[in-house]
Amino acid sequence: MDALAAARAAVDLAPDDPDSLAILADALVANGYADEAIPIIEQAIGADASPPDRYREIAGLSYLVAGQPAQAVWRSSSGRSCCHSESESNSASSA
């Protein structure tokens, strides 16, 4: 069993466990599935009252690999849930 399959199996056993979700998101990014990783890592961040910095690092990497560099920077440096579009980020930075 490869790492991605093992991570999926862990989430199947504990679908609400933030650590399992974060590991799955990390494995997805490593295997070229960054778009699929984004909602999973956001779910992990939302499920933990005080998410570890590693979750934000995985989120930032997910957004970066998915071609959303503005979201990557914002998410990596923020404890907030990612809830705005890239165009809103660009508008805010140009104001």
Per-residue pLDDT of the chain (95 residues; tens, 9 = 90+): 799 999 999 999 999 999 999 999 999 999 999 999 999 999 999 999 899 999 999 999 999 999 988 888 877 776 554 444 444 444 444 44
The whole-number pLDDT of residue 70 equals: 85
Q: At what angle are helices 3-13 and 18-30 packed, to 10 degrees?
A: 160
CB burial class (10 A; 0-12, 13-18, 19+) of residue 77?
A: exposed
Asked if 7 contacts 24 with a C-beta cutoff of 8 angstroms, the reply is yes
CA atoms in the 13 A half-sphere facing the CB of 64 = 13
CA angle 19, 84, 46 (to 5 degrees): 20
The whole-number pLDDT of residue 13 equals: 97
Q: How many CB atoms lie within 10 A of CB 43?
A: 18
